[in-house]
Amino acid sequence: MFSRKWFAAVAVGALMVAGQALAADKKVVAVSIPAADHGWTAGVVYHAQAAAKEINAAFPDVEVVVKTSPSAADQVSALEDLSASRKLDALVILPYTSEELTQPVKAIKDMGTFITVVDRGLTDASIQDLYLAGDNIAVGANTAKFMIDKLGGKGDIVVLRGIPTVIDDERIKGFQDTIKGTGIQVLDIQYAHWNSDEAFKLMQDYLAKYPHIDAVWANDDDMLLGVLEAVKQSGRTDIKLALGGNGMKDIVKKVIDGDAVTPVETPYPPSMIKTAVYMTVANLIGQAPVRGHVKLDAPLITQANAKEYYFPDSPF
């Protein structure tokens, strides 16, 4: 005769086996992104987690796992842990840096994993099944066109770069190609790693080194905040323009208010990570076999259209 405890144990065991079988049948999508070390990446984390929550609730056969990493080395380790602990059907990755993450992502690709790369492309584009980013060349080019016009085609400027990645290279290329042949002279160009504090210190160095600067391009809005603070503290009045990029709400608000030094902006929404996750899941469940490159436009944000790009409740 069997006891109630025996039946209970059998029932629990059956549920565990069923749960394991269901888990095994799930399509696993790993999302590997940088930690929220500045405003834009905070937006990326916010939208990635929102996508995971929505998809996990809507699609019982799909599991989206989000992992954040504070450095390139940590992201490499995170990928190794993710791929060792379970079979990854897809990987959505925003690489911390392009070069350091290329080979680790290739190793996962070689296991048969679908690879979606967002924003900071890999140095070997053939690894990517799907690549989604903003038009970084247009970010640089459109900023340069506005600067050329406002400065009358001549002037001395300084530039702040982000970190060594494909997107930073593209932004700089778009900017430099556009000012080529004009009277715009770049006095200095250095990395500030998309960090407000580093940009503040670098701008202080620029101000000490160069007695006259007509304009600054900070390449990114987090860096622009540091630049603007350094200029404010210096009391300098020679700087006619200080421009950034990415569409941070604080900078878009300046555009709305008609700020004379920061009158325009270019969008580069962190919500692109959410779009990438949804497109990847669509591939896995047979809804949309999308491959190749998806590029978002980077139109100039001016006072006339800035309210369309202003989201005061967003984290960025």
- Give the Å distances, CA to CA, from 244 to 138, 144, 235: 13, 11, 20
SS3 71: coil
User: Does residue 11 carry a pLDDT above 80?
Assistant: no
Predicted structure pTM score = 0.74
Q: pLDDT, tens digit, for every residue of 13-54?
A: 332 333 343 445 799 999 999 999 878 899 999 999 999 999
Q: Which 8-state DSSP code applies to residue 300?
A: P
Task: Please report the domains of the chain, with CATH numbers, ordered by start residue.
Answer: 4-135+270-296 (3.40.50.2300), 136-269+305-309 (3.40.50.2300)
C-alpha 117/C-alpha 177 separation (Å) is 26
Q: pLDDT, tens digit, for every residue of 226-267?
A: 999 999 999 999 999 999 999 999 999 999 999 999 999 999
